Structure 1
């Protein structure tokens, strides 16, 4: 991280055409910064190039992780109404004694409410990026209970160089100590948490593949689902046909869930090609003059310190959505939960796992054109199942897995494929807990409704699965879930069956472009 000699952040992080974005910079020695802004998808389309932006050398203030950096704006970007919805990379470059130093920032151009430019809306997993971001101090994994959105992203969250070990999922097994991934992060001076969140490893390859295939996708941030719920007002009247979640989508606010569940409840379709999805509830607080909240609150394991604990706002508790105090398991939305899943090909969890699903119901429309049969392995070529996985409580009827419905999974949920996954124990955790704190599997068992840390409670969730499945809401909204963070790694020529299934999904649920 010592090499990040030019860094910055954009505010607001989401804007419509005709709006403005402020770029806040800090440059070593106050050097001028070359700024290039580009929309990134199938192509990298440069929309702004400023060769010499004046910038100060600003210290990172104490408490920046919680309160932000407070750097002054160095450049105000006018967002042309012609710019397409999407992720906009802000590339920062300075010259240090003849050597180039590069940093990155980002913002999103979102569609206007009621004016979609594509049939599909995808929300970047920005809440999860911020939860893992350790710029200027702690994140939600190192004791922090709130994180500021007004600070740069640490190296690795917005840009990664190629190299063995880039994915947090183990590709060359066995590697129980994850030496390849840790070595990659150290070699490239990236945040130790950069394998778990960010743009490069999930949303970027998906959008590159989708646009190459001819699919159009509008893009928003997680926070936009809270700030602008009308974006998903309904599938009719020129609205979106399909909502997309891609990759590692762990942190959701209550209003976010209200927006997406309302969309599904009105007949909108949703595809969660993601894992660990909506596991933790967070709150977005401290609104700024520009509108968006500047702080994300997440007490997690310190939930009893959350100010809403023990109050009439207990439903907003920043704990697991499946926590007995919250009582709104994410299964109700996605069909699956990390509670009944765990890890696959991570450290000492399913270390030699297949990296693909065993198919149980090959006659489903998702598999059309693949030639897949019962018992076949799906997605192993691209290690499509890896990292964090979501499942449901299940049993077997006539040799086929069916959900029990005991954990909130909707009636009619159909299990199409499964892969073994399991939570970290004290002995298998990549970052073992202190002796006075429970292991991950013990914590989850203790916080579930009717749970505890006893052996029988832990045993209930010790043998999970990644579950590929689907259900249909009473209003006709079709929901598909991959039950794994890594579905996207089967795209881009890595696995033809995964590509065909994704086409089937987008063709059937995406619908025609808006008129």
Structure 2
């Protein structure tokens, strides 16, 4: 199978990568002597007939771009060469306010372009040295065409949240009184950070392929790799290349008829899902607006089916300024203007906490604060890597050969790096929702595994923990009102679940883990069988009465 165009790694390219990674984020060198090319599009998705405008800054005299469909095989479709280059001034706070670059080129999306992910590759050359920057446009089928049974909704809320290009994201940045704080306001009018749209083969994932070895210093191979090759350390946490692309390629190989959309599409067009039988969410799907979530709830109540093969449904956001800004105050939610306004439920905080009080279990059957880390660093670092099966008779496990207590996906390491779960009780060896956290008795727990919010400190000399106890402290305060030894202990324990739920006239199947896609990519026959079972049933419109309780 052929891939898209890859970067030419030259001595000058490597020197540039080291320069940029003197700080944690990717961004412009602001030095015309450094060869670079960056660009962005005003929107994330387009339909046939739309004009796509490219805003590009480069230190080269001439530049070019290629557009190709990034499916099972990379298909180059459009090439424009010998375009005049311009090095644009970039505001210091571009990650918050946007780059504001003028138009550099444009093209119209042809009617015959199929739904899918489209990679735009920008190229600039000088003295034989080449730099590339990659962008993704998600093409969704025009409304005059017959709707596909399935629509893959890409987690663009999380893409924006992790995009560090220009200095800030929803985690860390150049903002705040000390110039070192996350930004609650992010702009979509800037390039994607390196690694979100395209990755070379072999790029490590956040969840390592093998468990941590006892007695050895903990490692985070994906961060080491990112530093060595000039990629953002957030590449493994979000983006088309790490999550939606593997699923889209697998689905295309299965010859399934898919349409494509973004979470931002749901925010602006809440009726979009009604054209399809089954909405699919994959990967790391952490940041949603209330309007996005409302669209899914309405879809399911009216008979729609949802396959959520994704983890970490945690933060409420707001999309403002016609999609140009994403808002999420997170840990400082009391500073959100909505917190003291007439609509405090729209405060950009965790779903499960006041004043939002809208647990994720009400939509997808699981909650983020009841799960979180598995397999990352020393957070369940020696765990099995899969789900323990409790209800093997459920239709989701048909043709898998799995029995009670078996592990699903351990060999392909699908459990992590962040998972969602529930408070639960055990009765005769079977888990049931405790219904203390927004869950309802109709939710059927099919499989589960253990997670934690505290990274285990083994006391290894020289070791620095990445996760530590910060998340557990936030969870303790959010769920119990204070951080004490008792609440911290309770907050350390979590889980990740596979659940099935007949809700309203529709159905939900959730495998609450970021890494489900790796079961497909690594050819895990049992994970593939479960995925086929869900898509076959949900794509056909069939309703299950088999709860296998």
The normalised TM-score by structure 1 is 0.92
Give the gaps of 5 or more residues in structure 2: 1-16, 21-33, 173-181, 459-463, 542-549
Shift of 1:14: 1.4
8 Å CA contact 2:377, 2:466 repeated in 1: no
Counterpart check, 1:299 vs 2:329: yes
Question: Matches of 1:63 and 1:487 in 2, distance apart?
Answer: 36
8 Å CA contact 2:379, 2:455 repeated in 1: no
The residue aligned with 1:381 is: 411
Shift of 1:250: 0.3
Question: Matches of 2:146 and 2:535 in 1, distance apart?
Answer: 16
Shift of 1:39: 1.5
Question: Matches of 1:359 and 1:456 in 2, distance apart?
Answer: 30
Counterpart check, 1:343 vs 2:382: no
The residue aligned with 2:56 is: 25
Residues 77 and 275 (structure 1 numbering): CA distance in 2 closer, same or farther, change over 3 Å? Answer: same
* Match among 138, 144, 150 for residue 183 of structure 2: 144
* Match among 214, 218, 224 for residue 265 of structure 2: 224
1:86-107 Cα deviation digits (max 9, x unpaired): 2111011121211221111121
Question: Matches of 1:55 and 1:510 in 2, distance apart?
Answer: 47
Counterpart check, 1:284 vs 2:319: yes
Counterpart check, 1:260 vs 2:296: yes
Counterpart check, 1:454 vs 2:491: no
The residue aligned with 2:176 is: none
Residues 493 and 345 (structure 1 numbering): CA distance in 2 closer, same or farther, change over 3 Å? Answer: closer
Question: Matches of 1:317 and 1:430 in 2, distance apart?
Answer: 31
Shift of 1:310: 1.7
Question: Matches of 1:203 and 1:445 in 2, distance apart?
Answer: 32
The residue aligned with 1:200 is: 241
The residue aligned with 1:498 is: 527
Counterpart check, 1:443 vs 2:474: yes
The residue aligned with 1:251 is: 287
Shift of 1:501: 0.8
Residues 144 and 335 (structure 1 numbering): CA distance in 2 closer, same or farther, change over 3 Å? Answer: same
Question: Matches of 2:66 and 2:55 in 1, distance apart?
Answer: 14
Counterpart check, 1:510 vs 2:548: no
Q: What is the correspondence of 1:173-188 to structure 2 with a 5 Å cutoff?
A: 173-174=211-212, 177-188=218-229
SS, match of residue 211 in structure 1: helix
Across the two proteins, how many residue pairs are aligned to each other?
A: 494
Counterpart check, 1:155 vs 2:182: no
Residues 348 and 226 (structure 1 numbering): CA distance in 2 closer, same or farther, change over 3 Å? Answer: same
Shift of 1:179: 3.7
The residue aligned with 1:327 is: 357
The residue aligned with 2:510 is: 481
Counterpart check, 1:400 vs 2:430: yes
8 Å CA contact 1:163, 1:184 repeated in 2: no
1:248-304 Cα deviation digits (max 9, x unpaired): 000000100010110011110001100002x100101112xxxxx100011101111
The residue aligned with 1:171 is: 209
Shift of 1:113: 4.6
SS, match of residue 141 in structure 1: coil
Residues 301 and 493 (structure 1 numbering): CA distance in 2 closer, same or farther, change over 3 Å? Answer: closer
Question: Matches of 1:431 and 1:137 in 2, distance apart?
Answer: 20
Residues 496 and 375 (structure 1 numbering): CA distance in 2 closer, same or farther, change over 3 Å? Answer: same
Shift of 1:432: 5.8
Question: Matches of 2:135 and 2:84 in 1, distance apart?
Answer: 17
Give the gaps of 5 or more residues in structure 1: 234-238, 288-292
The residue aligned with 2:125 is: 95
Residues 356 and 426 (structure 1 numbering): CA distance in 2 closer, same or farther, change over 3 Å? Answer: closer
Shift of 1:11: 1.7
Shift of 1:116: 4.9
The residue aligned with 1:290 is: none
The residue aligned with 1:214 is: 255
Question: Matches of 2:146 and 2:348 in 1, distance apart?
Answer: 32
Moved more, 179-188 or 142-151: 179-188
8 Å CA contact 2:287, 2:317 repeated in 1: yes
